[in-house]
Amino acid sequence: MSEGDQRYPRPLDDVPSTSSNLSSVRDRTYPESLACPCDDGVMVYMSYLEKTELQIFKKMLVNEQFLPDTLGITWEQLDRASWAEMVHLLIEIFPGVLAWRVVLEILNTMNKSRICSLVEKELKDILPTLELTYFHLNLRKAPLSLTSEDYQIQAYRQHVMKDNFPEWDKTIWPGNQEDFLYMEIEKHNAVLPCLFLPRSPHMRQPNTVIIHGIPGIGKTTLARKVMAMWARDEFYAHKFKYAFYCHCRELSRVGERSFSEWIESQGLRSQALVSKILSRPDQLLLLFDGFEEFTSSLITGTAGLTKDWNQKLPGTLLLSSLLSKRMLPEATLLIMVRPTSWKGVKLLVRNPSHVTLTGFNRTETLNYFRLYFKREVMGDEAVDFAMKNAILLSMCRVPVICWLVCYCLRTQMEETVDLTKACPNATSVFVLYLATLFSTIFKKLSSSDYQKQLEGVCHLAAHGIWSLKNVFDKTEFQYVMVAETTIDAFLQVNILRKLEGQGDHYMFALFIFQEFFGALFHILCYAERDIDYHWVSRKDIQDLIKLSRESETYDSQMGLFFFGLLNEECAEIVLRSFKCELFSSNKLKAVKVINKLSNNPCCEISQLFHCLAETREENFALSSLVGYQKVSLKIKSQEDLEASAFCLKHCPDLKKVELTLSRDFYKELGPSSLSSSPPPPPPPPPSSILFDWLQDVCSVFETSDNLEMLTVSNSVMKAPVMQILATTLKKPQCKLQRLHILRQLGAGHTNLGEEAMKSLRVVLESPPPSPQCLLLEHCEATPKNWVDLVGDLERNTQLKTLLLRENFLGIFGVNHLSTSHLGELKCNLTEVSCEAIAISLRHSKLLTHLSLAENNLKDAGSRHIWRALEYLMCPLQRLVLRQCSLTSGCCKYMASALKNNKNLRSLDLSFNQLRDDGIILLCEAMNDADCELLILELEKCNFTSISCHVLASMLCSYKKLRHLDISKNFIGMEGRVTLIFALLLLLLLFCSPAM
């Protein structure tokens, strides 16, 4: 990279990236924050075919002459089709059940028995929604001859490939792309075909797909990738004969024109061809991007919208007509939006499908760091620094920010400085990066004028953030007294960029630059003013705190930057780098506002903690958090953990802590030493900083003099976390006066191991109140550990709910576990285990809710449960036997239980094969019994209208029933009418004066 390139990097708005962070579709593993296009897709099992197997499938589809000769699909198009495109093609050609039967026939011929079983299962599930349609199918023998229009389309495809290959413009970026891009572009190849995968339950292709993503995350790269693939006949070749990419700036820069004129301007040069394209909108794919550069407002009403593609319209009406499907309703739309743009777009689009691009995950970010730093020692130092700054690491999910951070860190390390001292917080990294650009700005502007010009740029940036504005025209710069020479200086170093074809309209080259200068505006010292700083109101500070975290409609770093600039060391870096001072009065104002929020919070405590953690000043945090007696910690990410570790120990008045450690926290960390499985290289496991932060959080239970209560709710506590928490709780110096009922202590999907089981037992042995609910789903441990735990559970009379499904205890320990004190028990039981459960039921005085759902009890196993219910003293009020492999054979035992039991109020028998025989027996028993049953759930028990007469009779005679669920059964219209008459009769009886 040349010296000039190093000084003037030119970042793009949406850079090439791994934007969607996808693993291969075959692995079926997607990031938790990504809305996967395959989630509700049909025939997803086609992705399990290897590449060679998929080609065999295609050849058999052709050789067996399944394809109709009128389709017009060439082998070249078929050869390039992905598995998802093949699914779309099959469902489009073979409507109804026929598509599944064709797939089943071919896969059977290929001896793919496992996938065939999945085909049959899916077909069985969706059969009621399908209709059988017959086709006369013949193979088209020869390709169609090319027409002059085909040659024009081919020329257009060449034009598209030239414009979109590579997917990013190398000339925009300095040096070699490997210096700043960590590319795994094959991930796009996995997700792109899924964007239009037919969805359940109607098996239709989504007509509108929204790609969500913050600035720089890779939306434009994804759009260009789609266009390049389409031009090579590699993207839904059978479906989209025509595709066009529309950047919204193109609709802003001219006056009125029709959509047909716009299509013609894309390189077709033929009105006849344009008319033919627009007459077949079902073959048309339209990609929309760059809404942040659209300088007009979208029309959300119907006024002015038109169907006519030949009518000349202003850009705003034309775009609104297309998005609302008023124009070309059959066309397929792929829309790229930022959170700020979505607010206007969502009022126009109908029934869209959504995909969210998440950028680099943590593992990819660290891999990128190691790729960027050629010297291993420098790479290790940079990774170690980033790991200790979770806020900075989170910002690096945007690839261009990741490059920017690495560029800045490398510059500092080449000057042989300590990164920790050089960069006291995340904000200082951006200050130091921009400092490399400001040396040029100083040369362009006079020292006397510089301060006013910087103030004007910052003023405009802040105004844009608050008003959701990204594009500024020349008059707006003039309003804040920014001269043309200043605009040119900021353009030269690529802090600003001029919009192509829109006259004097400008944007910040990266949105994060606008956020930074907006934050700087709120704390700059203006020496020539009567008031030498910008006075920030209470509402301003509250809103800045809210901006510090992602929300549904907005995502901004301006709040974090504002608090980061309050750091004294960072303020000194600003003074050296930008030749301007920061005023401290707004710092004092922030303390007062935060103090008052303790009684009337306007934002989540996590938002506030992130802001205070970015200041990295303990005294500031301590002064701000005076008066905070209760905090609710929702730890979903590494950032949340770091912020909690910093702030919690600076709450002098803390009395109550509510802790939620979500499963997302472990997912967000990816392969790490907190995971239940060993991390694959690279990168190596993270440093102990994560454990240090966890210990810092738990240390508050020892050091806070006023702390009275800890509530852990809805948390997944994996082994290391369990160990740290348990170790703290059993220390004599623990200040907690009440361990307020751990309402849900979860350690799901975990290999607990010896230490974790010991830690769990420590918690269970803690003085009352100890946990009431214990969840250990899918956990693994040795038989000895389970037996030891069973002993603790029997002694713990506080425990009311125990969930042990799919654990060794479900097979081994249930015979040793007395349930007399439990309110709810769920295990991985079989019919062999039920006798022991039944014995406990007979002796239980407290068990009111028993769920044995999704256990393979069968009729023989349930017989023990029914016989236990015959005992008059059994206190059970709700029994859940959902999906327990029961048949009508269990109903004869059930009848006796219902006759004798006076306590049972709710019975769930859903998803069992009771059929008509079982329902008739059940209804007869309820007619004869003097029971108190109020709720009866019979969802999907596979009975028909034959049962409805007995059900109707039962409803009329057994008047205690208040809720009956018979959904997903095949009762038909006859059954519905029978039950409706019974309900009407009941209604008349209840409304009768005699009643």
Using the predicted structure, report yes or no on whether residue 977 has a pLDDT greater than 70: yes
Asked whether the beta carbons of 341 and 197 are under 8 A apart, the reply is no
Residue 102 and residue 68 in contact, taking contact as beta carbons nearer than 8 Å: no
Confidence of residue 682 (pLDDT cuts 50, 70, 90): very low
Would you say residue 909 has pLDDT above 70? yes
Q: Taking 70 as the threshold, does the pLDDT of residue 715 lie above it? A: yes
Both structure tokens of 705: 């003099």
Q: Which of 78-82, 686-690, 936-940 is predicted least confidently? A: 686-690
What pLDDT, in 10s, does the model give residues 97-130?
788 888 988 998 899 888 898 888 887 777 666 6
| pLDDT number for residue 770 | 58
Burial 621-645 (b: 16+ CB within 10 A, else e): bbbbbeebeebebbbbbbbbbbbbb
Residue type, position 864, single letter: H
Highest mean pLDDT: which of 136-145, 612-621, 659-668? Answer: 612-621
- pLDDT above 60: residue 722: yes
Encoded tokens for 97: 């059940």
- What number is the average pLDDT over the span 400-426? 90
- Token pair of 261 as six digits: 């004129």
Q: Which of 671, 641, 60 is nearest to 364 (CA)?
A: 671
Q: Over the stretch 624-676, which tens digit does the pLDDT of each residue have?
A: 999 999 999 888 888 999 999 999 999 999 988 888 888 777 765 544 333 33
pLDDT tens across 955-965, in order?
A: 888 888 888 99
Mean pLDDT over each residue of the chain, to the nearest integer: 78
Distance of CA 51 to the CA centre of its chain: 29
pLDDT digits (tens, 9 = 90+) for 261-282: 999 888 887 888 898 899 999 9
Is the distance from CB of 666 to CB of 675 less than 8 angstroms? yes
Q: Highest mean pLDDT: which of 172-181, 365-374, 417-426, 774-783?
A: 417-426
Tokens encoding 181: 């891009």
Q: What is the pLDDT of residue 129?
A: 64
Return the exposure string of 285-323: e unless at least 16 CB atoms fall within 10 Å of the residue's CB, then b. bbbbbbbbbbbeebbeeeeebbeebebebbbbbbbbbbb
Q: Are 211 and 349 in contact (CB under 8 A)?
A: no
**Count of CB atoms situated within 10 Å of the CB of 989:** 12
What pLDDT sits at residue 764? 64
Burial 497-533 (b: 16+ CB within 10 A, else e): bebeebeebbbbbbbbbbbbbbbbbbbbbbeeeeeeb
Q: Is 456 helix (H, G, I), strand (E, B) or coil?
A: helix
Q: Mean pLDDT over residues 772-779, rounded? A: 62
Classified as helix, coil or strand, 641 is helix
Closest-CA residue to 173 (of 399, 500, 361): 399
Q: What is residue 36's predicted lDDT score, i.e. its pLDDT? A: 59
**Cis preceding-peptide flag for 206 (omega within 30 of 0):** no
Stronger pLDDT, 12 or 55, i.e. the higher one = 55
- Top pLDDT among 804 and 404 is at 404
> Shortest CA distance to 22 belongs to which of 216, 194, 265?
194
CA 557/CA 551 separation, integer angstroms: 12
pLDDT category of residue 389 using cuts at 50, 70 and 90: very high
- CA–CA separation, 165 vs 228, rounded Å? 7
Given a cut of 50, whether residue 171 has pLDDT beyond it is: no
Per the CB < 8 A criterion, the answer to whether 141 and 63 are in contact is no
Distances (CA, A) of 841 to 20, 837, 860: 51, 6, 17
**Residue predicted with more confidence, 610 or 5:** 610
pLDDT band at 14, cuts 50/70/90? Answer: very low
Predicted confidence (pLDDT) per residue in 150-162, tens digit? 678 888 888 888 8
Q: What is the pLDDT of residue 336?
A: 94
Q: Which of 285-294, 502-511, 645-654, 867-876 has the lowest mean pLDDT?
A: 867-876
Name the least confident of 91-95, 319-323, 558-562.
91-95
Strands, sheet with 208-212, edge to edge from the N-terminal-most edge strand: 242-247, 284-289, 332-337, 208-212, 353-356
Confidence bin at 758 (pLDDT 50/70/90): low
Q: pLDDT by residue (tens digit) across 292-315?
A: 888 778 887 777 789 999 999 998
Predicted pLDDT at 794: 62
